[in-house]
């Protein structure tokens, strides 16, 4: 399938008034772009020139990305010349930042200029997205002309923190899968990989000074089925499900991310969400009662999963853990979690009560604040900054902590008003483990976050200093994500939407235009064998009771230009079925409503089949 470019050639405005004339299908959308007539054609004789040795690795990255599909490798040379030129600017533009770039493509030459190598890397992502979609394939593509349209682009990001989080505790993902995830997010100019490495269902990183963390904490009984509905581990049942990353694995992944200008922010979730650590070392708990790693069965408030802040040995073990974490990860940030900490066992623990008394604390909320403040001092001693979920505000915030606001925007606003840096990641916009559309045709999960919800996210509230909002990220919790293919499905295209939210100015965003570009990137993902969700094509079903208490059905779509067809007669709808115009009155004795959407006279969304009694329950 040949990629389609729709070009409009207009008189080029003066450079000082650079603006978009006609869209090219780049995600995230560039700040300024002009599309000109003509193309630059890449052949086996094309040479990449680098005017700085720092650019040789990014040139090699580009060659590796394109050689499989093209069937040849481009030569890389130092200096400048006719071909593709990567240039570090001789006079750095102090106003544009290290991640900005300028790109000019003419029929004879490509010139990509930036202040730093990471700016060149982001310009390369733009170049790759302007090649035909077959470039995403790892195998030779025949009869494709490798052309890049002639453009002038000036581009820079809105936020310095543009990330995705992957939870590898609930389900373990291999080293190669983690690298693939990093590679995919980097292709959309994201620069932070938040790595959730510990939780109640598994400890995923080798700590040499505390070997039981992985000997015991990394393995649990194997289970499938709905989360929280699973049978607990039975006596003498094998614990064969799980895995962990060795120090060598971590070093390899960190370097892989560094080569893509991605900062890995590790998370060790404490004091709550620590059941796996407690199972390995019961002495850091209040009750010493935990025996098994949780398999996805209900346990909260029953099985202890919060570390004991009353025992000094807890902090001694944490210092060992974070000493190794700080050694392995060059990021200035370490995430300590701090969320959903159940304090019931603390209330009954003599050690915790003694700590509260000795430190003159009011209650267990201030005890958690005491814990987080000690963690901050511990990390500062290792030249690291503490990041935590917004619960770390409760009981008093550590002086220099950065807050990741997930329970809406309110706690992020509160933290910013207190002068703290904030990363906005509210559930209703940024949680990638939620339903993407009509639940009946999606893999089981909870709540909902549509593509448009992610795209319409605005990270900077009006009432706060925008300089305190570092940016944001999408979070993929993996309770209902057992495979990497499904991780891709849950991430894309919502991850593309968030990439644009964090890179592109809000004035330059446009939902309908974004949808058009997403459709082109579906094609690119197909060639790259990357899984993604087409949920934006599915109908939105909203049952309601009218003023007379009669159940009716409103149908809608997330994107325009979709037609909705339906049936109540137990047949499958198609374009010859009734077309939806106004809210539906349910015929007498009807038992099921079936719905399908069409675009350009072809089926677009999944066929939705819902029992009438199920729709009635949605209203209640």
Do 151 and 167 belong together in one domain? no
The answer as to whether 226 is a domain residue is yes
- Residue 97 banded pLDDT, cuts 50, 70, 90: confident
Q: What is the pLDDT of residue 95?
A: 56
The answer as to whether 321 is a domain residue is yes
Do 114 and 87 belong together in one domain? yes
Q: Dihedral sign for Cα 214, 217, 220, 224, please.
A: negative
Least confident of 5-9, 52-56, 389-393, 611-615: 5-9
CATH no. for residue 602? 2.60.40
The answer as to whether 4 is a domain residue is no
**Which of 139, 155, 171 is the endpoint of a domain?**
155
Do 181 and 320 belong together in one domain? yes
Question: Among candidates 479, 521, 478, which has minimal Cα distance to 497?
Answer: 521
Q: What is the pLDDT of residue 508?
A: 97
- The helix-helix angle for 56-70 and 117-130 (nearest 10°) equals 20
Do 183 and 276 belong together in one domain? yes
DSSP-assigned beta bridge partners for residue 75: 47
**Which of 155, 175, 209 is the endpoint of a domain?**
155
- The helix-helix angle for 484-491 and 494-503 (nearest 10°) equals 50
CB 112 within 8 Å of CB 103: yes
Instruction: Work out the average pLDDT over 344-353.
Output: 98
The answer as to whether 9 is a domain residue is no
Do 239 and 99 belong together in one domain? no
The answer as to whether 483 is a domain residue is yes
The tokens of 203 are what?
Answer: 């400890």
Mean pLDDT of the chain: 95
CA atoms of 541 and 438, how far apart (whole Å): 7
The torsion angle over the Cα atoms of residues 574, 580, 586 and 588, rounded to 10 degrees, is: -60
Q: Write the DSSP symbol of residue 173.
A: -
Q: Is the pLDDT of residue 6 over 70?
A: no
CA atoms of 220 and 3, how far apart (whole Å): 47
CA 541 to chain centre: 27
The tokens of 133 are what?
Answer: 């979609």
CB 242 within 8 Å of CB 202: yes
C-alpha distance from residue 396 to each of 78, 344, 464, 603 (Å): 55, 19, 20, 54
3-state secondary structure 418-466: CCCCEEECCHHHHECCCECCCHHHCCCCCCECCHHHHHCCCCCCCCCCH
CATH no. for residue 215? 3.20.20.80
- Residue 620 banded pLDDT, cuts 50, 70, 90: confident
**Which of 137, 155, 173 is the endpoint of a domain?**
155
Do 356 and 432 belong together in one domain? yes
CA atoms of 251 and 206, how far apart (whole Å): 12
The answer as to whether 522 is a domain residue is yes
Q: Is the pLDDT of residue 549 over 90?
A: yes
The torsion angle over the Cα atoms of residues 365, 459, 474 and 470, rounded to 10 degrees, is: -80
pLDDT, one tens digit per residue, over 393-426 is: 999 999 999 999 999 999 999 999 999 999 999 9
The torsion angle over the Cα atoms of residues 568, 572, 578 and 582, rounded to 10 degrees, is: 60
Burial class (CB in 10 A: 0-12, 13-18, 19+), 317: buried
Q: What is the pLDDT of residue 332?
A: 98
Strands 402-405 and 422-424: parallel
Q: Is the pLDDT of residue 8 over 90?
A: no
3-state secondary structure 71-98: CCCCEEEECCCCCEEEEECCCCCCCCCC
CATH no. for residue 62? 3.30.379.10
CA atoms of 407 and 415, how far apart (whole Å): 13
CB count within 10 Å of CB 51 equals 16
Do 292 and 339 belong together in one domain? yes
Q: What is the pLDDT of residue 24?
A: 87
- Please count the structural domains in the chain: 3
Q: Is the pLDDT of residue 32 over 90?
A: yes
Residue 20 domain boundaries: 15-155
Do 358 and 475 belong together in one domain? yes
Q: What is the pLDDT of residue 2?
A: 34
Three-class SS of residue 163? strand
Scored b (16 or more CB within 10 A) or e, 208-244 reads eebeebbebbbbbbebeeebeebeebeeeeeeebbeb
Which distant-in-sequence residues (6+ apart) come within 8 Å of 431 by Cβ? 406, 447, 449, 474, 475, 477
Q: Please report which helix (H) or strand (E) contains residue 380, including its range.
A: helix 364-380
The answer as to whether 2 is a domain residue is no
CA atoms of 132 and 112, how far apart (whole Å): 19
Cis peptide, bond prior to residue 252, ω within 30 of zero: no
pLDDT, one tens digit per residue, over 434-486 is: 999 999 999 999 999 999 999 999 999 999 999 999 999 999 999 999 999 99
CB 476 within 8 Å of CB 428: no
The answer as to whether 8 is a domain residue is no
- Residue 23 banded pLDDT, cuts 50, 70, 90: low
Do 363 and 498 belong together in one domain? yes
Instruction: Work out the average pLDDT over 595-610.
Output: 97
pLDDT, one tens digit per residue, over 137-187 is: 999 999 999 999 999 999 999 999 999 999 999 999 999 999 999 999 999
Question: Among candidates 600, 544, 546, 595, which has minimal Cα distance to 566?
Answer: 595
Do 144 and 51 belong together in one domain? yes
Q: Which residues carry out catalysis?
A: 199, 273, 340
- Residue 94 banded pLDDT, cuts 50, 70, 90: low
Do 424 and 396 belong together in one domain? yes
Q: Is the pLDDT of residue 345 over 50?
A: yes
pLDDT, one tens digit per residue, over 225-248 is: 999 999 999 999 999 999 999 999
Q: What is the pLDDT of residue 498?
A: 99
CA atoms of 421 and 408, how far apart (whole Å): 16
Do 522 and 606 belong together in one domain? no
């Amino acid at each position: 399938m040949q990629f389609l470019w729709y070009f409009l050639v207009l008189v080029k405005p003066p450079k000082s008034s650079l603006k978009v004339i006609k869209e090219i299908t780049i995600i995230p959308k560039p700040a300024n772009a002009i599309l000109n007539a003509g193309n630059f054609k890449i052949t086996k004789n094309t040479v990449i020139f680098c005017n700085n040795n720092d650019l040789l690795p990014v040139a090699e990255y580009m060659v590796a990305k394109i050689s499989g599909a093209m069937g040849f490798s481009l030569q890389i040379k130092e200096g400048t010349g006719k071909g593709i030129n990567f240039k570090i600017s001789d006079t750095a533009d102090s106003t544009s930042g290290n991640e900005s770039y300028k790109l000019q493509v003419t029929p004879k030459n490509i010139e990509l200029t930036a202040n730093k190598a990471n700016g060149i890397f982001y310009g390369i992502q733009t170049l790759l997205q302007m090649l035909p979609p077959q470039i995403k394939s790892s195998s030779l593509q025949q009869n494709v002309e490798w052309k890049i349209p002639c453009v002038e682009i000036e581009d820079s990001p809105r936020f310095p923190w543009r990330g995705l989080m992957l939870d590898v505790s609930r389900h373990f993902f291999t080293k190669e899968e983690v690298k693939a995830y990093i590679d995919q997010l980097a292709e959309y100019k994201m620069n932070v990989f938040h790595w959730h490495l510990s939780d109640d269902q598994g400890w995923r990183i080798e700590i040499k000074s505390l070997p039981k963390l992985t000997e015991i904490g990394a393995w649990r009984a194997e289970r499938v089925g709905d989360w929280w509905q699973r049978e607990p581990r039975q006596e003498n049942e094998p614990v064969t499900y799980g895995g962990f990353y060795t120090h060598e694995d971590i070093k390899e992944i960190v370097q892989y991310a560094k080569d893509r200008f991605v900062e890995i922010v590790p998370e060790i979730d404490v004091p709550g969400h620590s059941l796996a650590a407690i199972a390995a070392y019961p002495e850091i708990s209040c009750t010493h009662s935990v025996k098994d790693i949780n398999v996805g069965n209900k346990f909260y408030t029953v099985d202890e999963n919060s570390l004991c802040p009353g025992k000094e040995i807890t902090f001694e073990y944490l210092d060992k853990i974070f000493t190794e974490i700080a050694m392995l990860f060059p990021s200035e940030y370490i995430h300590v979690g701090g969320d959903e900490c159940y304090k019931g066992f603390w209330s009954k623990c003599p050690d915790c009560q003694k700590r509260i008394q000795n430190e003159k604390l009011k209650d267990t909320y201030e005890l958690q604040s005491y814990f987080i403040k000690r963690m901050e001092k511990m990390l500062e001693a290792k030249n690291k900054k503490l990041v935590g979920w917004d619960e770390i505000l409760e009981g008093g915030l550590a002086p220099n902590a950065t807050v990741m606001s997930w329970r809406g925007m309110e706690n992020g606003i509160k933290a910013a008003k207190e002068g703290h840096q904030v990363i906005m990641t509210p559930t209703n916009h940024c949680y990638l483990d939620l339903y993407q559309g009509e639940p009946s045709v999606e893999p089981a999960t909870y709540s909902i976050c549509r593509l448009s919800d992610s795209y319409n996210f605005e990270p900077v509230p009006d009432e706060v200093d925008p300089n305190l909002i570092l940016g944001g990220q999408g979070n993929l919790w993996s309770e209902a994500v057992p495979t990497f293919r499904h991780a891709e499905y849950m991430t894309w295209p919502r991850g593309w939407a968030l990439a644009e939210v964090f890179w592109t100015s809000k004035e330059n965003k446009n939902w309908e235009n974004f949808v058009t570009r997403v459709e082109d990137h579906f094609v690119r993902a197909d060639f790259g064998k990357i899984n993604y969700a087409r949920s934006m094509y599915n109908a939105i079903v909203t049952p309601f009771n009218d003023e007379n208490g009669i159940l009716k059905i409103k149908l809608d779509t997330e994107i325009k230009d979709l037609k909705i067809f339906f049936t109540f007669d137990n047949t499958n709808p198609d374009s010859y079925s009734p077309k939806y115009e106004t809210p539906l009155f349910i015929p007498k004795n009807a038992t099921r409503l079936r719905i399908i959407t069409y675009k350009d006279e072809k089926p677009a969304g999944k066929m939705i089949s819902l029992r009438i009694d199920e729709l009635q329950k949605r209203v209640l």
